[in-house]
């Protein structure tokens, strides 16, 4: 700790020499006053550094020159009318006095030494672990040492930005407090304190010393509770999805979210996007009845929590069984629909007598029952809510192959070089293989796909459907008629003759009609003949 004033001995020495200076200042013959110059005048020196002081007596015939100070000193150099002294380890502000003999009288001169020193420690007080956005925060700068205090100040920095500056007090160590209102942008920003020793008025420069930075973590937490989404009814020993999210978080990536089912923590997948944090998990329970799901979100020093209930139930079944899943045609089949206790089942619309009992259906398998589907519906009431579950099963009936006579005609008449399809189909279980072979040559005609009919395709074909359950056969006669060029020419000739006859008849008719309109009669009148036109005579007129 540096002294704030001169030592007592220096004080009394300065006072004595001051009195001497006032009383013993010599004067010359013409009343001239002599004095001692002290250089440097009122110096400012670093703490603990040496200083050379020069005392000069400006009178003729100067005598002995000396320096009075409480500091350690040693002669440095000397000449006529001057002497220099080296002061070591200057650690405090003080006044020094130079004295000398002039005309057998003592004269004195004074100089004030100001010591400056950098603070030994500049530190920003620890910041809170988390700071809410917009809430006032006091930041304190702690400074130890440093002089002169009147020239010392402290600056609060946000990164490189100066937020404020205050003078350093006289207390040791000094504590300077700044009030700030953190923003979202301040999250992760470094804050620091900078001490400034301004000696520019003393001809020196501005000295600065900055503390180590401290990082501020800001956060914003909404007032709303997390949104918890999950099915309200859970079947035991079945995994169910659980989703929890909260909006308006800053920074969302720094928030923590937890999901729990009762006392069991869930292994959740957490995703952060913008200001939203979402946790997704799957869970199952082996405990029947009402249970609680908890979602907890923590950010900074705050947390938000949501608790909601679910109902776990046991729903056994329904189980739908066939006594024969692949039944041979004509064999009896029993269909059974069963479920657990308190479950009401219904088989193809027919309910069981009471809840917990199975429903049955018996039948004799026929070809019509192949691929028949049976439906079983089960219902369970849980806390006033009716839950449904359905099952279905298909019956396969094994029966022999049959060719569909309605779709496979027994006689076909087709023209040569035309495209046709032999539309023969066969049914059966297992599916039969169907092929049509011409008798004698075993020539196979395609079935069910288009093909070009040729003249040599004419003949009788034996179509057979075969499977492991048997065979079925039928005959198909195919008559392919060829295309004759002579016949075509004859037809064209006949058509040409008919055209000519028709044209001739039309011409005769037109001519006859014209003749009927142009008949004239000569009728005698007096001695002259007159030509008159008459209309055709009908049959009745001729008869009259």
Do 287 and 347 share a structural domain? no
Strands (E), 105-170: 105-124, 131-132, 137-147, 152-158, 161-167
**Spatial distance between the Cα atoms of 185 and 251, rounded to a whole number of angstroms:** 10
* DSSP state at residue 33: B
Residue 526 has pLDDT above 50, yes or no: no
Choose the final residue of a domain: 262, 296, 312.
312
**Spatial distance between the Cα atoms of 497 and 104, rounded to a whole number of angstroms:** 178
Residue 476 has pLDDT above 70, yes or no: yes
**Domain residue limits at 96:** 36-115
Return the ∠ at Cα 265 (arms to 259 and 270), rounded to 5°.
45
Do 215 and 129 share a structural domain? yes
Q: Is the omega angle on the peptide bond into residue 318 within 30 degrees of 0, that is, cis? A: yes
**Spatial distance between the Cα atoms of 147 and 49, rounded to a whole number of angstroms:** 14
Does residue 333 lie in a domain region? yes
Does residue 528 lie in a domain region? no
Whole-prediction pTM: 0.56
Q: Which of 195, 152, 194 is nearest to 170 (CA)?
A: 152
Does residue 486 lie in a domain region? no
| CATH assignment at residue 55 | 2.60.40.10
Average pLDDT over residues 376-381: 94
pLDDT, position 511: 59
531 pairs with which residues across the strands? 522
pLDDT, position 493: 66
Does residue 529 lie in a domain region? no
> How far apart, in Å, are the Cα atoms of 395 and each of 16, 413, 498?
130, 41, 68
**Spatial distance between the Cα atoms of 67 and 85, rounded to a whole number of angstroms:** 7
Does residue 86 lie in a domain region? yes
Do 241 and 190 share a structural domain? no
Do 136 and 108 share a structural domain? no
Q: What is the dihedral angle through the alpha carbons of 448, 452, 458, 464, rounded to the nearest 10 degrees?
A: -20
Query: Which position has the higher pLDDT, 493 or 259?
Result: 259
CB burial of 392-404 (b: ≥16 within 10 Å; e: otherwise) equals ebebbbbbbbebe
7 pairs with which residues across the strands? none
Do 129 and 206 share a structural domain? yes
Asked if 474 and 410 count as a contact pair (C-beta separation under 8 A), the reply is yes
pLDDT tens digits, 350-364 = 999 999 999 999 999
pLDDT tens digits, 456-471 = 999 999 999 999 999 9
Do 474 and 450 share a structural domain? yes
Do 136 and 206 share a structural domain? yes
Per-residue pLDDT band at 58 (split at 50, 70, 90): confident
Does residue 517 lie in a domain region? no
Q: Which of 254, 253, 322, 266 is nearest to 294 (CA)?
A: 266
Do 80 and 152 share a structural domain? no
Residue 231 has pLDDT above 80, yes or no: yes
Provide the CB-side half-sphere exposure for 302 (13 A, CA).
Answer: 15
Query: Which position has the higher pLDDT, 197 or 510?
Result: 197
Does residue 98 lie in a domain region? yes
Do 68 and 43 share a structural domain? yes
pLDDT, position 32: 63
Residue 517 has pLDDT above 70, yes or no: no
Per-residue pLDDT band at 9 (split at 50, 70, 90): very low
Do 212 and 132 share a structural domain? yes
Average pLDDT over residues 81-92: 91
Do 93 and 141 share a structural domain? no
Asked if 456 and 489 count as a contact pair (C-beta separation under 8 A), the reply is no
pLDDT, position 11: 43
Per-residue pLDDT band at 286 (split at 50, 70, 90): confident
Burial label for 189, CB within 10 Å (0-12, 13-18, 19+), is middle
At residue 218, the 3 state secondary structure works out as: strand
Asked if 345 and 352 count as a contact pair (C-beta separation under 8 A), the reply is yes
Asked if 411 and 477 count as a contact pair (C-beta separation under 8 A), the reply is yes
Does residue 492 lie in a domain region? no
Overall number of domains in the chain: 5
Do 234 and 183 share a structural domain? no
Q: Based on C-alpha coordinates, what's the Rg of the chain?
A: 63
pLDDT, position 60: 80
Choose the final residue of a domain: 364, 395, 426.
395
pLDDT tens digits, 16-45 = 444 444 444 444 444 567 889 999 998 988
* DSSP state at residue 436: E
Choose the final residue of a domain: 203, 219, 235.
219
At residue 541, the 3 state secondary structure works out as: helix
Mean of the per-residue pLDDT values of the chain: 85
* DSSP state at residue 27: B
pLDDT, position 35: 86
């Amino acid at each position: 700790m540096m002294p704030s004033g001169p030592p007592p001995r220096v004080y009394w020495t300065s006072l004595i020499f001051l009195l001497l200076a006032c009383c013993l200042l010599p004067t010359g013959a013409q009343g001239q006053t002599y004095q001692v110059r002290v250089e440097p005048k009122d110096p400012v020196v670093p703490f603990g550094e040496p200083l050379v002081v020069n005392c000069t007596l400006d009178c003729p015939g100067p005598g002995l020159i000396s320096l009075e100070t409480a500091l350690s000193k040693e002669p440095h150099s000397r000449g006529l009318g001057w002497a220099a002294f080296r002061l070591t380890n200057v650690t405090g502000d003080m006044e020094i006095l130079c004295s000398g003999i002039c005309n057998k009288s003592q004269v004195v001169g004074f100089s004030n030494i100001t010591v400056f020193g950098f603070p030994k420690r500049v530190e920003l007080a620890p910041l809170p672990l988390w700071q809410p956005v917009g809430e006032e925060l006091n930041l304190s700068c702690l400074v130890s040492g440093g002089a002169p205090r009147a020239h010392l100040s402290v600056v609060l920095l946000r990164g490189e930005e100066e937020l404020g500056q205050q003078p350093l007090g006289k207390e040791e160590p000094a504590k300077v407090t700044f009030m700030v209102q953190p923003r979202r942008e301040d999250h992760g920003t470094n804050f620091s304190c900078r001490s400034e020793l301004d000696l520019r008025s003393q001809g020196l420069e501005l000295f600065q010393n900055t503390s180590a930075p401290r990082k501020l973590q800001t956060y914003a937490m909404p007032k709303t509770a997390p949104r918890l989404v999950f099915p309200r009814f859970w079947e035991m020993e079945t995994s169910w999805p659980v989703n929890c999210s909260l909006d308006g978080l800053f920074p969302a990536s720094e928030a923590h979210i937890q999901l729990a089912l009762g006392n069991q923590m869930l292994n959740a997948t957490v995703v952060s996007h913008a200001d939203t944090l979402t946790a997704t998990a799957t869970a199952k329970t082996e405990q029947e009845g009402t249970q609680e799901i908890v979602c907890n979100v923590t950010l900074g020093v705050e947390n938000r929590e949501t608790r909601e209930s679910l109902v776990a139930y046991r729903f056994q079944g329904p189980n739908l069984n066939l006594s024969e899943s692949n039944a041979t045609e004509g064999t009896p089949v029993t269909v059974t629909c069963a479920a657990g206790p308190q479950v009401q089942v219904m088989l193809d619309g027919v309910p069981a007598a009471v809840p917990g009992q199975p429903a049955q259906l018996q039948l004799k398998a026929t070809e019509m029952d192949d691929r028949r589907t049976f439906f079983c519906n089960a219902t369970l009431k849980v806390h006033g809510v009716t839950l449904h579950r359905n099952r279905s099963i298909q019956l396969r009936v094994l029966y022999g192959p049959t060719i569909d006579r309605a779709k496979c005609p027994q006689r076909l008449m087709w023209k040569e070089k035309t495209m046709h399809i032999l539309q023969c189909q066969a049914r059966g279980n297992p599916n039969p293989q169907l092929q049509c072979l011409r008798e004698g040559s075993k020539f196979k005609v395609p079935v069910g796909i288009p093909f070009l009919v040729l003249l040599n395709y004419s003949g009788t074909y034996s179509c057979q459907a075969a499977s492991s359950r048997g065979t079925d056969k039928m005959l198909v006669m195919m008559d392919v008629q060829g295309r004759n060029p002579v016949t075509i020419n004859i037809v064209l000739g006949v058509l040409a003759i008919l055209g000519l006859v028709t044209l001739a008849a039309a011409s005769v008719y037109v001519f006859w009609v014209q003749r009927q309109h142009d008949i004239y009669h000569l009728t005698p009148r007096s001695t002259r003949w007159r030509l008159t036109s008459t209309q055709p005579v009908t049959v009745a007129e001729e008869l009259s």
